[in-house]
Amino acid sequence: MNAKSDVQLPAVSVIMPVLNEERHLRGAVQAILAQEYAGEMEVVIALGPSTDRTDEIAAELVAETASFQSKRVHTVPNPTGRTPAALNAAIKASRHPIVVRVDGHGMLSPNYIATAVRLLEETGAQNVGGIMHAEGENDWEHAVAAAMTSRIGVGNAAFHTGGEAQQAETVYLGVFRREALEQQGGYNEEFIRAQDWELNFRIREAGGLIWFSPELKVSYRPRPNMRELAKQYRNYGRWRHVVARYHEGSINLRYLAPPTAVCAIAAGVVVGALVTPWGFVVPGGYLAAIALGSVPAGRGLPLKARLEIPVALATMHMSWGWGFLTSPRSLARKVIASRRPAVRVDAGQS
């Protein structure tokens, strides 16, 4: 967006929850400070109880920007280490009418904020977001990135696979009008995962528009190994089931595919082992499907990365499905008891 000199651009607060992000924090903040945006900007980092150099790096960033007039970094504590609590703490400490959510391992494209502010104005949306552009730094991460941006990996989720600008159920991260956050009371801190989806659901239920645009892109670093990827997707499935219990009518067929696959494969293995070898057709068919689906997803990647794509796909599908199926009802009861977040996020509280 090329702003005319006589146009006053809205000031922007960038909020960032971090925990053990020494690997990517400096780069993520530098990508924010380098934004092609002429309006005033602040970065609020909510610091969880990290065990690496995250706090030290954050302190360096605060000191380095202390003399800046329009782009400064400051921090707030998040002793719980939980993402929604960090987001609410950062929102409360921020001051500006536009609130941009960024993760400590996310890298904004150079015109991300300028484009998002323009889209908020053009669409009247309460929240806009774009593509979660997964990028790896080694063979395993390249494989996960390919899986996360393919339809066989994540279905028709536009913020993973791209698509036309349109109204959406949810978007990756998000750029919000502050009044929308104030109206909803911020993030529900009972949702350890899926807090973005849940907040966007409440915004939509209140009549607000959530808007996806492929013009917006955030580079994302995948989990560094299979164990961490499995944990990530198990939690995704677990908490997506909590959202489904908390908000009736919020589930769709795409979210039911992984748990259905887990049940079908388990049943096929049991039938194949105890009744007839034909039972193995189901797990065999699944393995063949992900192997074939990984071929187009892996174009241009090294051989080792291409061979690891089916492993990444199976890890994502099975972990998400297992998390969904084993999500305890006690989580939903705890969330429902809270009903609304008990936090005020009014501006000017820093």
pLDDT per residue as tens, the chain (350 positions): 444 444 689 999 999 999 999 988 999 999 999 999 999 999 999 999 999 999 999 999 999 999 887 889 999 999 999 999 999 999 999 999 999 999 998 899 999 999 999 999 999 999 999 988 888 889 999 999 999 888 888 766 666 666 789 999 889 999 999 999 999 999 998 888 889 989 999 999 999 999 999 999 888 888 889 999 999 999 999 988 888 887 776 677 777 889 999 999 999 999 999 999 999 999 999 999 999 999 999 999 999 999 999 999 999 999 999 999 999 887 766 665 555 544 455 544 43
Residues 111, 97: Cα–Cα separation, whole Å: 19
Residues 236, 153: Cα–Cα separation, whole Å: 14
Compute CA distances 212 → 101, 153, 209, 350, whole Å.
15, 20, 10, 30
Q: Decide: helix, strand or coil at residue 165.
A: coil
Residues 5, 123: Cα–Cα separation, whole Å: 23
Residues 169, 192: Cα–Cα separation, whole Å: 19
**SS3 breakdown of the chain: % helix, strand, coil, rounded to 5?**
50, 15, 35
Residues 184, 87: Cα–Cα separation, whole Å: 14
pTM above 0.85, yes or no: no
In this structure, the number of other CB atoms found within 10 A of the CB of residue 91 comes to 27
Residues 209, 204: Cα–Cα separation, whole Å: 6
Residues 90, 15: Cα–Cα separation, whole Å: 6
